[in-house]
C-alpha cells in the first residue's frame, strides 16, 4: 500500500469531514488508534485520528507509518493564534515546528513563576540527555510541500494565509505573557498539541511532512470558533489534495 497519503487530525471533529468523503472506506483500529482508508479526489489516503497531545500524536504517527508506508503525512487541525497579525479563520502553513515542552529552567531559589521568562528552550541528545544548544529544535516541513500549499491555498482561502513557525506543547495556553514570550522570541504564529510531534517522527523516518492549521482563537479566553475552523481546514485540504500530491517531487 505504498504511496498513500496519511492525513492526521487529533479527534473526530478534525477528521470527520474527510473521513465521510472517502470512497470505498474501510476502517482499522491499530494499537487503539483509528484509521480510515479510502479514495479522496482520486488520491488514496488514510485519515488518522491521533487523539490529543504530543505523545498520542507521536505514537499514532509511528503506527501509521509502519502500517501504511505513506508517501506524505499531512497533520491538520486548529490552533490558537500567537502573532498579533493572525486572526480567527486564517490559515497557517507550518514551515517549522518547535517543541515547547523542552526547557532548561532558571537556577533560582525563588518559586516565583516570573522566572519562566528566563527559561531557555533547548535541544538535547536523545540518548545521553546532554544539552546540544539553547535555541530550541526547529523541525521543518517539506520545502516542496510548503511552497505548493502556499500556491494552492491562497487563491481559495476565505481569509489570510501565513507561512511560519508553529509551537507545540501539552498546554492549553491562556496566559498572555507566555504567548507573547514565544511570539517575541520565536516569531511563532500559533500553538497546537501535535505539529512538532508528527514532524519529528516523520523526519526521523524519512517521510515527507506538512503541517496545516486554521486559527480557532486569537484571544486566550476565546473558545467559540473551534467547530467551524476544524471543518474548514478539512475542506481546504480536500480541495487542494490532488494538486498537492501531483506537484510533490
Parse the chain into domains and list their residue ranges: 5-102+137-247
The string of pLDDT tens digits covering residues 156-215 is 999 999 999 999 988 776 667 677 777 666 778 898 999 999 999 999 999 999 999 999
Model confidence band, residue 99 (pLDDT cutoffs 50, 70, 90) = confident
Task: Give the three cell numbers for residue 119.
Answer: 527559561
Q: Among residues of the chain, what percentage have pLDDT more than 90? A: 63
CATH of 5-102+137-247, one of 3.55.50.30, 3.40.50.720, 3.40.50.1580, 3.30.230.10: 3.40.50.1580
Which run of H or E residues covers position 143? helix 143-153
3-state secondary structure 46-94: EEEECCCCHHHHHHHHHHHHHHHCCCEEEEEEEEEECCCCCCCCCEEEE
What is the Cα–Cα distance from 168 to 41, expressed in whole angstroms? 30
**What's the pLDDT score for residue 108?**
58
Sorted by sequence, the CB contacts under 8 Å of residue 112 that are 6+ apart come out as none
Q: Which has the higher per-residue pLDDT, 37 or 137?
A: 37
Average pLDDT, the chain: 86
Amino acid at each position: 500500500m505504498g504511496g498513500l497519503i496519511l492525513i492526521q487530525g487529533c479527534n473526530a471533529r478534525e477528521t470527520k469531514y474527510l473521513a465521510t468523503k472517502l470512497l470505498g472506506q474501510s476502517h482499522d483500529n491499530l494499537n487503539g488508534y483509528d484509521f480510515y482508508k479510502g479514495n479522496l479526489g482520486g488520491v488514496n489516503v488514510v485519515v488518522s485520528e491521533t487523539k490529543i497531545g504530543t505523545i498520542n500524536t507521536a505514537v499514532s504517527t509511528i503506527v501509521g507509518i509502519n502500517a501504511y508506508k505513506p508517501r506524505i503525512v499531512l497533520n491538520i487541525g486548529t490552533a490558537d493564534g500567537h502573532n498579533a497579525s493572525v486572526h480567527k479563520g486564517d490559515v497557517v502553513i507550518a514551515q517549522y515546528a518547535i517543541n515547547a515542552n523542552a526547557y532548561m529552567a532558571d537556577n533560582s531559589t525563588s518559586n516565583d513563576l516570573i522566572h519562566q521568562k528566563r527559561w531557555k528552550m533547548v535541544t538535547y541528545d536523545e540518548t545521553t540527555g546532554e544539552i546540544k544548544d539553547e535555541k530550541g529544535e526547529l523541525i521543518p516541513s517539506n520545502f516542496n510541500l510548503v511552497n505548493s500549499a502556499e500556491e494552492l491555498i491562497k487563491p481559495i482561502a476565505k481569509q489570510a494565509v501565513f507561512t511560519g513557525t508553529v509551537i507545540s506543547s501539552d498546554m492549553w495556553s491562556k496566559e498572555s505573557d507566555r504567548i507573547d514570550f514565544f511570539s517575541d522570541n520565536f516569531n511563532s504564529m500559533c500553538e497546537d498539541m501535535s505539529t512538532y510531534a508528527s514532524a519529528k517522527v516523520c523526519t526521523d523516518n524519512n517521510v515527507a511532512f506538512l503541517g496545516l492549521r486554521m486559527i480557532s482563537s486569537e484571544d486566550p479566553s476565546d473558545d467559540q470558533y473551534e467547530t467551524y475552523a476544524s471543518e474548514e481546514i478539512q475542506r481546504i485540504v480536500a480541495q487542494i489534495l490532488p494538486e498537492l500530491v501531483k506537484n510533490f517531487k
